[in-house]
Amino acid sequence: MARDTAADLATILAGGGLNLSAGANLFLGPTLEDDDATVPDVACFVLQTGGEPPQSYIGGGRKTYRTVTCQVRVRSARERFREGQALALAALDVLHLASAAPYVLIEVDEGSPNYIGTDGSDRHWWTFTVDASFIDLGA
């Protein structure tokens, strides 16, 4: 079964008490990152970026153990470095070891979000990756 892991992680973030709302300041993919007209300075983006090769799963049928990797990007306004850093860390904490069926494990393998600098509008950026594993029951 095909899963939209980025959308699933965004749903977890939206429910995580971080004041993130899909379509307002929480987005799928990088397509709106530089759209100043519709995206606020403080925003979060989730993008599926790959994953590990599928592994056979014992138990018959065509079950496969899959791990999908997503990148989470957080940005803040130019004068709000600490607030952006706090949001990025809070987002990491919400996602690390989150319990969300059908995922058997959601984890972040980084101690804190990586600061990657500023964009052309001097907004600060952080990023981290999330691995989400689940059993794919096949067709």
Q: What residue spans define the domains of the chain? A: 5-136
The burial class, CB within 10 Å (0-12 / 13-18 / 19+), for 10 is buried
Q: Give me the pLDDT at residue 36, please.
A: 65
Q: Give me the pLDDT at residue 30, please.
A: 72
Q: Give me the pLDDT at residue 32, please.
A: 59
The residues near 116 (Cβ < 8 Å, ≥ 6 apart) are 125, 126, 127
Q: Give me the pLDDT at residue 35, please.
A: 61
The reported pTM is 0.90
Residues of the chain with pLDDT under 70: 1, 31-37, 58-61, 138-139
CATH architecture, range 5-136: 2-Layer Sandwich (3.30)
